[in-house]
Amino acid sequence: MATSEAYMRTPTQQAWRRFKRSSSGKAGLIIVGLFVLLAILSPFVMPYDATKDRNLRERLKPPSVEHVMGTDELGRDIFTRVIHGSRISLRVGVFAVGIAVIVGTILGLLAGYFGGRTDMLISWLVDIMLSFPSILLAIAIVAVIGPGISNAMIAVGIVQIPIYARLTRSVVLSLKEQDFVAAAEGLGAGRARIIFRHILPNGLSPLIVQATLSIATAILDAAGLGFLGLGAQPPQPEWGLMISKGFLYFTRAPWISLFPGVAIMVAVLGFNLLGDGLRDALDPRTSR
Amino acid sequence: MKRWIVGLLALSLAFGWASAQTLIYGQSDLPKTLDSSDAQDGNSLRVAYQITETLVAFKPGTVDPIPGLAVSWEASNAAKEWTFKLRKGVKFHDGTPFNAEAVKFNIDRWNDPNNKYRGNKQFVPFTWVFGGFKGDGSIIDRVEVVDEYTVKFYLTDSVGFFPNMLGASYFGLDSPKAVMANPEKYGTPEVGAVGTGPFKFEQWVIGDKVVLKRNDAYWGEKAKVDTLVFRGIPEPASRLAELKAGAIHIANNLSPEDKVTIDADPNLEAVVQKGLNIGYLAFHQKNKPLDDIRVRKAIAAAVDWDAIVDAFYAGLGERATEFVPPAMWGRDGKVPAYSYNPELAKKLLAEAGYPSGFETEIWYMPVSRPYFPAPQPIAETIATYLADVGIKATLKTEDWGTYLSDYDQGKFPMYMLGWSPDYPDPDNYLFTFFGPTSIKTNLGCESAACEEIGQLLVQARTAPDMKTRRELYAKVQRMVHELTLSIPVAHNNPLHAVQKGVAGWVPSPLGSSENLNLVTVK
Amino acid sequence: MTAYAIRRFLSLVPVLFGVSLLVFTFIHLIPGDPAVVMLGERATPESLEKLRKQLNLDKPLFFDVEAAIEERSITALFKSQYFSFVGRILRGNLGESIFTKVDVATELRARFPATFELSVGAMLIALLLAIPAGIMAAVRKDSWLDLSVMTAALVGISMPIFWLGLLLIYLFAVNLHWLPPSGRLDVGVDLNPVTGFYVIDGVLTGNLAATGNALKHLVLPALALGSIPTAVIARMMRGAMLEVMNQDYIRTARSKGLAERVVIWKHALRNAMLPVITVIGLMFGTLLTGAILTETIFNWPGIGKWLYDGIGARDYPIVQGGTLFIATVYVIINALVDLSYGFFDPRIQYR
């Protein structure tokens, strides 16, 4: 009985087993977990109101016991702000990728399943978007819809749409020819039903892996926009914005820029590790 | 003693004892154009000023007009006509003689919208200073060549400070021959500019540097260095880094807070300039409840302006009380500073019907300027003080170009802005901020009192004697304070730094009219 | 092969047409226009209208229906801003900056070499570090070496470039004074540009001091920009090597008793390079076009910073011409990468 159970694992269980074996996956899960926890708990554990925070007497103080990451140009404690910045970056990452996945997947499904003119049109759009440098495209979008964290999120999301459109399209194309889809079609299932019940779930693994890695990219891109002054606006403790403000003081007070950068790096690293781990688990063929 | 040294120096130069020397100037950007009359930014004008010269110049480091390409001038017909005697024997770098025809050519090119040598350029600064183009608001009606070295300007109105206007660095006179040869591309990297100044255009490497060479035939004091190079380094911190690395000799407009860094470096020397600028926080009254004087007074009282000036100007700036800086005439002198009193602020807000505050926006400039060296942190600080009394002010900004075109549209409830003068006269400050049109568009104030301020300034512009002008300007400053139309924040004394051994550099209070021919490099 | 190449390049035409359409639409969607920016503080509705007319901004964006009806001609329909832009491009004229009057082509000629040199520098650093690192990681799979290379690579793709750039400047330029903080060349160094690539120009004109100086300026920005390609290529190299080493022919080669060195360098590496070359090509395209942040931090006079400023100033010709140029370079590189498959792997047959 016990042995037969071992042989009859569901795909999910198999994936979980592979994931547990992946050290990068575990490390990533821990970092991302901490990051999410920080984002959720920080307002309760360490209440902070960025709109009122100022201490002009304590400006530009280097790291000390009192301020472990030093203070910035308004005398604010950088540690507090870095911690609270996690909320912004996490939200940006998740929402931007959400936009990209939803829009991109729909476009990819349409292109892949219907082919013909639909495919040509969508592929044309995707090719156009891909021939722009992504940061330039994001800058242009923000220039049109105005700066701010929500708009930066949208811009970063739009820029990533082509990735998902292409990915989904290729998955659909490879699945379309397979037996279970043909069977469903033979049984007279509607097109929408085939797409959402049969094709989409089977193509989910690469999507999940890509989405995790995309969150990393999205956090970096949003920080880049913040650095250019197009993303989050002061006094929000957004990491990219904090780095750019530190630029003015960087010969005198390098810690202003240093620590938010470390935070970005660790968060992005977490998602990259997690993405690698998920790839090992969900898509064993492509790894090693 | 001093004269003796200068004489020796001149002698050594004459005999070619000094080896080839290069002066490298680091500013925040390369020029946009060397056609000064088409340039709007200090970086373009500073470079152009070395090549082309104005009729009227200013004594280095001051705003006192002195002869430039004109040796003397006098007004007639109640300052409606101005006659300028020109310097003789001056030649443009291309050999074209400088004379009355050349002056007329330049003025006509700017003033007449149908002139065929405009080269599709806009000459926007000309409209700023003179009110428009010919037939469309320009105060210059026509220019007449009286003789080879005399020109006469006929104005549409009396303007007592007309020579000061011509001294603005926009109005460097270009060689007619060079302009006619290529009006479209005159001033671009490929063509450069041709003037009468102490330096000649040599080369402009796009995105990298502009190289000028000494004009050995200069009529005035010949340049001390052979080569003058301008580099564009946008961030003040990077400019300082380049200076520390020894890659440039002069770094201008540094962050005041870097004074300590400069003082600590034995190879560098800080240069603090007497500033003529004003940085202020303006209210646009189209946005409720800022039309309520109690609300504006509450905001003035809610913020500890002294603490802000202390923190962000590092002892180099001074708290402003009026809109004309102390180094300039035309002040009342007794207008008090708004003092920090959050209790009063809360009380005023309650009286105005906003006991728990309201929501508004503060717009801050996306670039640092001499008057606001760190606009964003200053805006953030102001917002925190407002938050203390319940006012929720969102911070906003946009591209500098758009910012400048939007602030007078009523889109910004509160905005930070400032001014470095084009020409040294209180009119250039007060008329710009509170003139009859500006007070409506820039501040959204259409009350009778604002109307009166506008009219007082028109009167002051054309008033015959200094005493009346003085009184009118003082009155305007008192009224502005009483009505709390805008809050003057600071006059900054901008910080620059040079390598030890660089001597003779005097930054101009007007921003770009620097005489770099006087600078020596060790 | 030739037929495929022709088809591949022809397929770029509709894409570039779409790019021109998108750029044009975008830049005109951005609030504010050059007239507003130019007149600045003292603009009036009348002066704005006048200036717009002068700058041809008063014409309809896409189709001039009014003119077409009035003149009763279809061609008048195309007297719009978009079609005059496309018309100019087709005649080989990229236009000139509204503000500085400098030809866009002139700016590109001056700036593209700067961007190209930086990208090549970044790519060289990436290749020198990543390929050996990737191979060694694959050969010693799961060793401490593998682990540290892979960790370093992950850290590499997780760092914001602008932050890394600041750190490098702070450390090597401001504090240690080893390398210059910005620019392409010291002002004191005289160099006659021949190609615009300073490192090469120095060699060509026999001015090795200038080459050295240009290299010194190149190191920090190239390191910052190269961080991501280094990481990506190292990971790719390792993955490709592992994949290849599990193949039958490698096992055969090993069983034939060939030295491990020969197996790895002669058999495995050759076959593993194909996907890596693809990535290198694609990455190079990205480097050429996406260095805005690096160029900003290091004050590098390339295309990225210039385009970014162009957007801020609403300098339509710069943004339109510059972006179209960049997109063209990018899609051409991608097409070349596609075609290079055939070169590196003769087994691939193009239909």
Say how far residue C107 (Cα) sits from the centre of its chain. 16
User: Looking at residues B207-228, what average pLDDT do you find?
Assistant: 93
Say how far residue C201 (Cα) sits from the centre of its chain. 21
C73 and C117 housed in the same domain: no
User: What is the Cα–Cα distance from A103 to A109, expressed in whole angstroms?
Assistant: 10
C55 and C127 housed in the same domain: no
Query: Which secondary-structure segment (H or E) carries A128?
Result: helix A116-130
Write the ipTM.
0.86
User: What is the Cα–Cα distance from A135 to C290, expressed in whole angstroms?
Assistant: 7
Contact between C101 and B184 using a beta-carbon 8 Å cutoff: yes
pLDDT in tens, B470-518: 999 999 999 999 999 999 999 999 999 999 999 999 888 777 788 999 9
Helix C144-158 vs helix C104-139: crossing angle, to nearest 10: 160
C338 and C233 housed in the same domain: yes
C220 and C279 housed in the same domain: yes
pLDDT-derived band of residue A4, with 50, 70 and 90 as boundaries?
very low
| B389 part of contact set with chain A, CB < 8 Å | no
| A27 part of contact set with chain C, CB < 8 Å | no
Examine residue C147 and state whether it is found in any structural domain, yes or no: yes
Question: What residue of A is the nearest CA neighbor of C293?
Answer: A224
Examine residue C308 and state whether it is found in any structural domain, yes or no: yes
Please tell me which chains touch A, using 3 or more CB pairs under 8 Å as the contact test. B, C
Q: What is the dihedral of CA C108, C113, C115, C117, to 10 degrees?
A: 180
Between C199 and B99, the higher pLDDT residue: B99
From A151-160, A193-202, B325-334, C215-224, the region with the lowest mean pLDDT: A193-202
Q: How high is the pLDDT of residue C349?
A: 52
Q: How high is the pLDDT of residue B17?
A: 42
User: What is the Cα–Cα distance from B113 to A230, expressed in whole angstroms?
Assistant: 39
Examine residue C98 and state whether it is found in any structural domain, yes or no: no
Residue where a domain stops, chosen among C23, C58, C91: C91
B383 min Cα distance to partner chain A (Å): 7
The domain containing residue C113 runs over which residues? 104-344
C333 and C184 housed in the same domain: yes
**What are the residue ranges of helices labelled H in chain C?**
2-10, 12-29, 34-39, 45-54, 65-71, 81-90, 104-139, 144-158, 161-168, 198-204, 208-245, 248-255, 260-262, 269-289, 292-297, 303-313, 316-344
User: What is the Cα–Cα distance from B170 to B123, expressed in whole angstroms?
Assistant: 9
Examine residue C351 and state whether it is found in any structural domain, yes or no: no
| C84 part of contact set with chain B, CB < 8 Å | no
Report the candidate in B167, A167, B247, B32 with the shortest Cα–Cα distance to residue C313.
Answer: B32
> Which residue in C33, C48, C101 has the most chain B C-beta atoms within 10 A of its own C-beta, making it the best mutation to test that interface?
C101
**What are the residue ranges of helices labelled H in A146-186?**
149-176, 179-186
Report the candidate in C293, C304, C281, C252 with the shortest Cα–Cα distance to residue C108.
Answer: C304
User: Looking at residues B218-231, what average pLDDT do you find?
Assistant: 94
Of chain B, the end-to-end C-alpha distance in Å amounts to 20
C144 and C278 housed in the same domain: yes
- Within 242-281 of A, beta carbons closer than 8 Å to B belong to 245, 247-252
Examine residue C168 and state whether it is found in any structural domain, yes or no: yes
pLDDT-derived band of residue B79, with 50, 70 and 90 as boundaries?
confident
Question: What parts of chain C have a pLDDT lower than 50?
Answer: 350-351
Q: Which domains does chain B have, with CATH numbers?
A: 22-215+499-521 (3.40.190.10), 278-492 (3.10.105.10)
C81 and C122 housed in the same domain: no
pLDDT-derived band of residue B216, with 50, 70 and 90 as boundaries?
very high
Q: Indicate if the pLDDT at residue B4 is higher than 60.
A: no
Examine residue C96 and state whether it is found in any structural domain, yes or no: no
C163 and C29 housed in the same domain: no
pLDDT-derived band of residue B12, with 50, 70 and 90 as boundaries?
very low
pLDDT in tens, B36-72: 998 878 889 999 999 999 999 988 877 788 999 999 9
Domain with residue C315: its CATH number is 1.10.3720.10
User: Looking at residues B340-363, what average pLDDT do you find?
Assistant: 95
B399 min Cα distance to partner chain C (Å): 6
Share of chain B above pLDDT 90, in %: 66
pTM: 0.85
From A263-277, B7-21, B78-92, C215-229, the region with the lowest mean pLDDT: B7-21
Q: Indicate if the pLDDT at residue B1 is higher than 70.
A: no
Q: Indicate if the pLDDT at residue A275 is higher than 50.
A: yes
Examine residue C99 and state whether it is found in any structural domain, yes or no: no
Would you give the DSSP letter of residue B273?
P
pLDDT-derived band of residue B10, with 50, 70 and 90 as boundaries?
very low
What is the number of domains present in chain C? Answer: 2
Q: Strand order of the sheet with strand B209-214?
A: B199-205, B209-214, B227-232, B22-27, B250-254, B495-499, B268-272
User: What is the Cα–Cα distance from B238 to B254, expressed in whole angstroms?
Assistant: 10
Q: How high is the pLDDT of residue B132?
A: 84
Contact between A249 and B257 using a beta-carbon 8 Å cutoff: yes
pLDDT in tens, B42-52: 889 999 999 99
User: What is the Cα–Cα distance from B401 to A169, expressed in whole angstroms?
Assistant: 43
C267 and C314 housed in the same domain: yes
Between B446 and B235, the higher pLDDT residue: B446
> Beta-carbon neighbour count of residue B5 at 10 Å?
9
C294 and C149 housed in the same domain: yes
Contact between C167 and A136 using a beta-carbon 8 Å cutoff: no
pLDDT in tens, A180-213: 777 777 777 776 777 777 777 777 888 888 899 8
From A73-82, B58-67, B186-195, C241-250, the region with the lowest mean pLDDT: C241-250
Q: DSSP string covering C289-315, please?
A: H--HHHHHHTT--SHHHHHHHHHHHT-
C225 and C138 housed in the same domain: yes
Report the candidate in A86, A11, A98 with the shortest Cα–Cα distance to residue A43.
Answer: A86
pLDDT in tens, A7-28: 556 777 777 888 887 778 888 9
Examine residue C183 and state whether it is found in any structural domain, yes or no: yes
Question: What residue of A is the nearest CA neighbor of C329?
Answer: A131
C207 and C320 housed in the same domain: yes
pLDDT-derived band of residue B400, with 50, 70 and 90 as boundaries?
confident
Residue where a domain stops, chosen among C66, C91, C116: C91
Please tell me which chains touch B, using 3 or more CB pairs under 8 Å as the contact test. A, C
Residue where a domain stops, chosen among C91, C121, C141: C91
Q: How high is the pLDDT of residue A1?
A: 41
pLDDT in tens, A165-183: 988 888 888 777 777 777 7
Largest CA distance in chain C: 87
Q: How high is the pLDDT of residue C99?
A: 82
Q: How high is the pLDDT of residue A98?
A: 95
User: Helix (H) and strand (E) counts for chain A?
Assistant: 13, 0
| A233 part of contact set with chain B, CB < 8 Å | yes
Which of C41, C114, C169 is opposite residue B207, by nearest beta carbon?
Answer: C114
| C163 part of contact set with chain A, CB < 8 Å | yes
User: What is the Cα–Cα distance from C36 to C144, expressed in whole angstroms?
Assistant: 61
